[in-house]
Structure 1
Amino acid sequence: MQDAVPQDQVRIGARLVVELLRINAEEPVTDKIRLTPQRTRHAQAVLNDYLAKIQSSLLHTDTRSRVSDALVDQCSELQIALPIAAPDWGGILLLDALFDQLQTQRAMDAEAGAWFACLRLLTVRYALADYSFFFAPQNLLRRFLNQAYLTLLSSTAKSRTLYWDKLNQYAKRMLDGFQGNVAVVNSICIEAQAWMAGQSEKVEQIEERLRLLEVTKRKEKVAEPRVVQEFNRIAAGRHLPPEVIDFLLGEWRRSMLMMSMREGDDGPGWKRQLRTFESLVELCEGCRDDAKRDGYRGFYQVLMKNIRASLISVSSASTAMEQAMEPLELVLTALISGAVPPVAEVPAMEVPVTRVVEAELDRVSPKALEAIEQIEEEDWLRLKTSAGQYELCKVVLKASGDDPWVLVGQTGKTVAKKSARQLALALEGGVVQPVQKKLYWDLQLDTNLGNLRESWIEMREQLNRAAELEEQKAEERSSSRIEDLLQNSSLSLVDHDHDQAELEAPAQGPQSGADDVQNEADSQDSSSGEAFVVPHPISEEELSAALAAVDTLQVGGWIAQETSEGEQRCKLAVKIRASEKMVFVNRLGIKVLDIQRQELARLLVHGAVTILDTGAAFDSTLERVVRTIQKEKK
């Protein structure tokens, strides 16, 4: 494999993949394997038999090796060399290299590496039967391996508890059931996709609650000093009835804090609250003056209406609203009526001060800080634990400045709160490892096929240059012959155009024939991929698994569909059981997909649709883990 990564990633289609794998087909190390340009049914059947024998021996001996090496060993006793199509051999070598690279990755511990190793031969056999594994990210097995890779990046006991048993079950069922028919593997992958989507639902809800909680804390941190400052400006040191003071220090202060967090210091609601606050204090003090009291009677009803409108802390609870307002209304009514209730001085609220602790400033490289800043919310990181294990966690909230980011693990538990600078230091120290947005199988297949494409383009350019050079030499030879004939001619009148046409005709003949051969070769090349990329019809087993997965979708569940503009996420808004119609909307609530249950299942089999969240109750295993976490927090 080449190390260079093409700068411009292009979408590689089915026919081009065949040619690229042909380039990747190095000559076998044994003469017992013979590479052929095309597939034949007989040779393909023999190859499948040999791969099945290898698979059977691996199941009994539990040994894991390169598929290419196993084939060489299996063919060592053959009298006649085993014919293998060059693209198939190139595909085997490519997947062998990717599995070898996966085993050497730091991200994979021994347990996870062994899980992938047991699927090596099955993946090779599947890919040879369905070439879409190489070029289509929506291929079902490829998606399953990507999801498993992401899941197994976390090596802690809690994270493994969630998924390990299920992943082992799916792998065993694939190995036991696959006999060359990709439908068996696809149906299991569809089932796994639906199950994993169900597990993620509650965790995502926990993540969202944690994110909102952290956002609220940060807004409160900014809003609290503002509320205290305005409270002290308007009421501190003033003499008001105790009932009014209790109201101001209670629900009114909470409402001011909520409004300040919601609107900041320039919102209309916040400004209205301040004016109402000032009017309330003015009324309480003004009613003690007999000359001014009558002027406040007409204003009283408007003031009470404004107070109720601004009391947002209990706006959704009528009982709590009445409990908060009743003492205030009683004392204000008494003041308006001429009563003189006792008063007390309003205490000044203490302004919260952010404590600054002196510490030695660790230097962090701009490169590490830049790498951290490029991480977005919903991206994944691996954090090294004190026990030397790794915890996979998602960036739920990305903060700015020195505010902490919120990282949540696969169980929904907050793993860490670190600032960007702290994460950059951890990145330099190897404690933090960013996870690529494009997961292992997509990244490596795209990279390696992209590199092969560069080689293919270079080879074609060399062939074109050689053809142009040969054509130029032919033209020079033709011109030389014409000049010799003209010089030796004894005719006084020569039809130069006619002679030149006659003389050039033989020179063009071979080149024209070469062009015909080249055109025929191009035609063969364009159709050569058809023997390797044969779409298979949807089997009953695949359709049954897909329908079962579709039936797990409840209102509120999410899917992702492939469109011409990329992946589009949409939520199930309506599910009509009688007509089996399902209506999906985007995040704005606009309908984007109206589809029948059967058709959605077919799209699921083809990989054009992925279930992200079933919207249903999640598995009891995860439920127990989440409940344990919640108890620990209490």
Structure 2
Amino acid sequence: MGKKSHILDFSSKANGDQQKGSQPLPVLVQEARDVCLKDLDKNLRKMFEQADDYLFDMSDSGYNNTHFDAMRLLRLKKDSLIRNFQAELKNSFAENLGSDIHQQEASLGDMSFENIALVEESDLEEGIAIDGMIKKARGVNVDALEKIRTRLDTLIASQTVTKENNPFEPAFVCSSFKKASLSLDIDIESLLVIYKLFERVVLSELTLTYQNVNQFFIDKGVLPELKIKSHQSAYKNTNSTAYQPEQTLSPIDEILESNAVNSQPQGAVNAEGDKVIGLMQSLLAQSRVGGAGNTAQLSSGVVQQIETPQLMSALTDIQSSAASAGNSNANIVMDVRSLIGDQLGTERAKIQNGALGQFNEDMIDIVSMLFDFILDDKNVHSEIKSIIARLQIPMLKVGLVDRSFFSNKKHSARILLNEIARAGISWDPSDKNAQQMLEKIESICDEITENFKDDVSIFNLLLNDFEAFRATIQRRADIFERRTKEAEEGKAKAESARAVVNRTLEKICIDRHVPEAARDILKNVWVNVLFLERLKDTKDGWEKACQVAKLLIWTVQPVASAQGLEKLVSRIPVLVKNLRKGFDVISLSPIDGTRMLEELETTHREIIKKAQEKIENEKQEDILRLQPAPMIPDSHPAEISGDEKDSEADAEKIEMIEIHDIGFAPELTGQVEVNKLPVAELTPESLQAVERLSAGQWVELEIDSEFHRCKLAAKISSSNKFIFVNRSGIKMAEFQAEALAGEYQVGRLKILDEEALFDRALESVISNLRAMKSEV
């Protein structure tokens, strides 16, 4: 097993609170950080005590001595590990919550497994272990973390605090521990034992740590009124204090908590009924006071009531008629009252004066407002919205017969609507494979409009069918997307290696005479040898290949002394031997190899002949000695001698020549051609929007003068590229970060909101009703 790299660089981290170019953290944030660090320090020391016992037991139970050595090393470095961990975590706060927000992604880079196929087996095991710890710890504490994030966001004025840059997140805790543990030169099995104990002793106690941080903020008056819900910890540690952490409320829940319904209009649900309906009815009633509206309270006289069963029957007939008529009213919210009046033969005035009853009236208003939002939403494609519009009457019927529809996020009708909308985000009419999804959505809506009367179980059956369909489609898309991603990662690695080879050859050849024979070998053979060695990432192989290239250039320089001539003659066989090895590495044709060596031999003979003539015809004291060409001492004395550097004192200074045609020619990247904005003109908001994009995010991107729905398949960190694919996983475009920010700034990139459509619509309706109430 190869040695791991255990290099710790604290050159830029002398002060954990503030880096160069960053603003100091607010005092309350520093104090909250110290509360967290205090808890982590205590738990880390407890963990190291247990690790000492575990490793000792393993070494005493017949395991090899590596566990005993690991135990001894851990004892020696325990204190420095804790210090390094604290320094790393403090640095995370400075990087992510200071003004220099461009460090955010780098902070999480160590926790990314995008290039998992390129690491060694031990690194892979370590990465998988850490990745699992992060996911589990965050899943347990998601609500408390959201509460911390919200409070941090109120204290940090320079930027928005998100999950990605919140240093209290388990990802940053684990990343800091991983970096600190790099100084432990121990076997992977012992390291995994330490990681397991870190999870069991430290991460399991994060629940209590986050409670203490939130309580600190509450004591300091930072959003003390945020509500909490009980949340059961997935860690079962009998030694930890029993505790129910805070939980972030959804916008609807917060509205309910802050707007108790003291008096509900006639027909509303009772105290045991649905609070969401009660709240919306209350807000509707209060917003109507003093204004026009369809309400029974404002009418005079006695109006014959239309009972709910009669109303349901009328809505079913309207639903069937609309299904038969097709999509004539696409993207338009229906005037349900007029349709009901026409269906029942009831005068419109009676409908408007409360014939439907207050509860039914409110349901019509609420569902109409919901579909106003849905059909105005820019994230769902218009063709999908035209299908969703046909579900207005069915969803109204669901609300009439099942009052949990508005409060139960797991209601099958609600989830089905969200899933159809989610499919609509990725749907692109230019994608030939998208027609199948459109037809499936249409068939589901047809089934609802034709067969749904009052049994909501139909939505559960259709939801299961649609999820199975989407899973089948998604499996194929995932395969293509994974292949695209792997190809782009390989391409990025190859481009990086290609650039290094080009720079290396340019440095070797600069200011040197390069005859055609040497140029031929470098350009057609040795550039590929260097490229392969760079891809293999073996230091010895790469350095040796570079030395051969340097020796080749050295042997074709003019010689001006007898000593230089003698060394040249002795080095040529060494060069030819190593060149032949390179020919074998790239499987060069023997015919081409022989031709190249013969041409090189002719060049060497000419150099030797000129040197001999010059030495014979000139006096020794007149021999011109010029600056030697630089050479790197050889690390393989058996094949390449290390004294070429000394002999270069005899080489003549040659006027600098163009060597741009030696190496790889620049290749087109396939990036979409755009009118790029100068970097100076890019706004911080545009750069931040691009930085916040994460793999899997759907966007609308202008390609060839047309907008297409694309998903961000990968962010290639080594080349700073963003790779976009369509819903089938086929590559659509690639951009450098700055070019993509420019696209966003001029409106050619639109980031789509993938949050549940029904939930967003419901929150918008309640917010609008509250605004209407405040205006009365």
> What displacement does 1:17 show?
1.6
* Match of residue 678 from structure 2: 361
* Match of residue 96 from structure 1: 368
Distance 2:527 2:369 in 1: 67
Map 1:579-594 onto structure 2 (within 5 A).
none
* Match of residue 21 from structure 1: 280
> What displacement does 1:196 show?
1.4
> What displacement does 1:202 show?
2.1
Q: Which moved more, 1:53-62 or 1:93-102?
A: 53-62
> What displacement does 1:165 show?
1.6
Q: Does structure 1 residue 174 correspond to structure 2 residue 486? A: no
> What displacement does 1:189 show?
1.8
Q: How has the CA–CA distance of structure 1 residues 237 and 129 changed in structure 2, closer, same or farther, with 3 Å as cutoff?
A: farther
Q: Does structure 1 residue 134 correspond to structure 2 residue 134? A: no
Equivalent residue for 2:474, pick from 167, 187, 200: 200
* Match of residue 378 from structure 1: 696
Distance 2:518 2:742 in 1: 55
* Match of residue 122 from structure 1: 394
* Match of residue 126 from structure 2: none
Q: Which moved more, 1:198-207 or 1:17-26?
A: 17-26
Q: Does structure 1 residue 397 correspond to structure 2 residue 719? A: no
Q: How has the CA–CA distance of structure 1 residues 430 and 91 changed in structure 2, closer, same or farther, with 3 Å as cutoff?
A: farther
> What displacement does 1:401 show?
11
Q: Which moved more, 1:64-73 or 1:118-127?
A: 64-73
Q: How has the CA–CA distance of structure 1 residues 408 and 46 changed in structure 2, closer, same or farther, with 3 Å as cutoff?
A: same
Q: How has the CA–CA distance of structure 1 residues 321 and 10 changed in structure 2, closer, same or farther, with 3 Å as cutoff?
A: farther
More strand by share: 1
> What displacement does 1:213 show?
2.6
Distance 1:426 1:32 in 2: 53
SS at match of 2:723: strand
Equivalent residue for 2:339, pick from 59, 70, 73: 70
Q: Which moved more, 1:270-279 or 1:92-101?
A: 270-279
Contact in 2 for aligned 1:25/1:89 (Cα 8 Å): no
* Match of residue 407 from structure 1: 724
Q: How has the CA–CA distance of structure 1 residues 208 and 391 changed in structure 2, closer, same or farther, with 3 Å as cutoff?
A: same
Distance 2:541 2:481 in 1: 35
SS at match of 1:398: strand
Map 1:136-285 onto structure 2 (within 5 A).
136-153=408-425, 154-158=427-431, 160-230=434-504, 249=526, 252-259=529-536, 269-271=538-540, 273-275=542-544, 278=547
Aligned residue type for 1:67: V
Aligned residue type for 2:485: R
Q: How has the CA–CA distance of structure 1 residues 392 and 232 changed in structure 2, closer, same or farther, with 3 Å as cutoff?
A: closer
Contact in 1 for aligned 2:371/2:389 (Cα 8 Å): yes
TM-score normalized by the length of structure 2: 0.42
SS at match of 2:431: helix
Contact in 1 for aligned 2:725/2:733 (Cα 8 Å): yes
> What displacement does 1:272 show?
5.4
Q: Does structure 1 residue 432 correspond to structure 2 residue 749? A: yes
Distance 1:400 1:68 in 2: 56
Q: How has the CA–CA distance of structure 1 residues 246 and 61 changed in structure 2, closer, same or farther, with 3 Å as cutoff?
A: closer
Contact in 2 for aligned 1:401/1:420 (Cα 8 Å): no
Per-residue CA deviation, residues 586-613 of structure 1 (Å, 9 max, x unaligned), is: xxxxxxxxxxxxxxxxxxxxxxxxxxxx
Q: Which moved more, 1:197-206 or 1:442-451?
A: 442-451
Contact in 1 for aligned 2:686/2:745 (Cα 8 Å): yes
Distance 2:739 2:548 in 1: 48
Q: How has the CA–CA distance of structure 1 residues 214 and 376 changed in structure 2, closer, same or farther, with 3 Å as cutoff?
A: same
Contact in 1 for aligned 2:523/2:662 (Cα 8 Å): no
Distance 1:185 1:344 in 2: 83
Contact in 1 for aligned 2:701/2:709 (Cα 8 Å): yes
> What displacement does 1:181 show?
1.0
Q: How has the CA–CA distance of structure 1 residues 237 and 421 changed in structure 2, closer, same or farther, with 3 Å as cutoff?
A: closer
Q: How has the CA–CA distance of structure 1 residues 93 and 326 changed in structure 2, closer, same or farther, with 3 Å as cutoff?
A: same
SS at match of 2:755: coil
Identity %: 17
Distance 1:351 1:323 in 2: 16
> What displacement does 1:354 show?
6.8
Contact in 1 for aligned 2:409/2:415 (Cα 8 Å): yes
Contact in 1 for aligned 2:743/2:749 (Cα 8 Å): yes
Contact in 2 for aligned 1:20/1:452 (Cα 8 Å): no
Aligned residue type for 2:414: R
Aligned residue type for 1:45: P
Per-residue CA deviation, residues 285-334 of structure 1 (Å, 9 max, x unaligned), is: 9xx99xx99xx9xxx9xx9xxx99xx9xxxxxxxx99995998xx99xxx
> What displacement does 1:246 show?
11
Contact in 2 for aligned 1:372/1:424 (Cα 8 Å): yes
Q: How has the CA–CA distance of structure 1 residues 282 and 415 changed in structure 2, closer, same or farther, with 3 Å as cutoff?
A: closer
Contact in 1 for aligned 2:428/2:708 (Cα 8 Å): yes
Aligned residue type for 1:392: R
> What displacement does 1:444 show?
1.9
Distance 1:127 1:439 in 2: 18
Contact in 2 for aligned 1:155/1:390 (Cα 8 Å): no
Distance 2:770 2:677 in 1: 51
Distance 1:189 1:359 in 2: 44
Distance 1:246 1:432 in 2: 41
Distance 2:735 2:585 in 1: 43
Q: How has the CA–CA distance of structure 1 residues 179 and 452 changed in structure 2, closer, same or farther, with 3 Å as cutoff?
A: same
Q: How has the CA–CA distance of structure 1 residues 117 and 282 changed in structure 2, closer, same or farther, with 3 Å as cutoff?
A: closer
Unaligned ranges ≥5, structure 2: 1-225, 227-247, 257-272, 300-304, 556-565, 595-599, 605-658
Map 1:413-424 onto structure 2 (within 5 A).
413-424=730-741
> What displacement does 1:380 show?
0.9
SS at match of 1:391: strand
Per-residue CA deviation, residues 353-375 of structure 1 (Å, 9 max, x unaligned), is: 87999988383443334333332
Per-residue CA deviation, residues 534-587 of structure 1 (Å, 9 max, x unaligned), is: xxxxxxxxxxxxxxxxxxxxxxxxxxxxxxxxxxxxxxxxxxxxxxxxxxxxxx
Distance 2:586 2:719 in 1: 41
SS at match of 1:156: coil
> What displacement does 1:225 show?
3.2
* Match of residue 350 from structure 1: 662
Distance 2:463 2:361 in 1: 26
* Match of residue 628 from structure 2: none
Contact in 1 for aligned 2:492/2:718 (Cα 8 Å): no
Q: How has the CA–CA distance of structure 1 residues 176 and 401 changed in structure 2, closer, same or farther, with 3 Å as cutoff?
A: same
SS at match of 1:118: helix
Aligned residue type for 2:466: A
Contact in 1 for aligned 2:284/2:769 (Cα 8 Å): no
Aligned residue type for 2:429: T
> What displacement does 1:454 show?
9.5
Per-residue CA deviation, residues 341-399 of structure 1 (Å, 9 max, x unaligned), is: 97987xx9825587999988383443334333332221111134667x64211112336
Per-residue CA deviation, residues 6-25 of structure 1 (Å, 9 max, x unaligned), is: 99744639843232233244
> What displacement does 1:171 show?
1.2
> What displacement does 1:435 show?
0.3
Per-residue CA deviation, residues 61-108 of structure 1 (Å, 9 max, x unaligned), is: 55651335534555635899656463x543432221121233344556
